[in-house]
Amino acid sequence: MVGAVTELSSIDDYIAGFPAHTRDLLEEIRAIIRRTAPEATETISYAIPTFDLDGRHLVHFAGFARHVGLYPTPNGVEEFAAAFAPYKTGKGSVQFRLDQPLPRDLIERVVRFRIGQIRPTA
């Protein structure tokens, strides 16, 4: 993590430690999640920004030197494997390079999918 802070008390604290462009992308991801899941609460978990819904982790996100990461759980990555093909992925993560535009619609679709996993009847 570029903007390492020993004790993070908020997502604002986390984001503040990054260069301007990375901060902008992190704020954009945060805004997409807030807009898509207005009932979710913000927290720091696993030392990264996290949104929780009904007591469960909805999604995490993070900043790095060359990318921002979205962590929609392994199920979220599996569900969107085809859409994530242009990006580097891991078991429960996807990386969006800093020099490319964020796939805003895709991030929103992922958050909606995760809401459906937490609230299957929603």
Q: Is the pLDDT of residue 2 over 60?
A: no
Domains in the chain, CATH or no CATH each: 11-118 (3.90.1150.200)
Distance, CA of 27 to CA of 29 (rounded, Å): 5
Q: Are 63 and 30 in contact (CB under 8 A)?
A: no
Q: Tell me the two tokens of residue 24.
A: 């902008």
Distance, in Å, from the CA atom of 60 to the CA atom of 94, rounded to the nearest integer, reads 11
Cβ–Cβ under 8 Å, residues 112 and 105: no
Instruction: Judge if pTM exceeds 0.85.
Output: yes
- Residue-wise pLDDT tens digits, 7-29: 667 999 999 999 999 999 999 99
Look at residues 101, 9, 113 and name the one whose alpha carbon lies nearest to residue 58.
113
The tens digit of pLDDT for each residue in 41-86 reads: 999 999 999 999 999 999 999 999 999 999 999 899 999 999 999 9
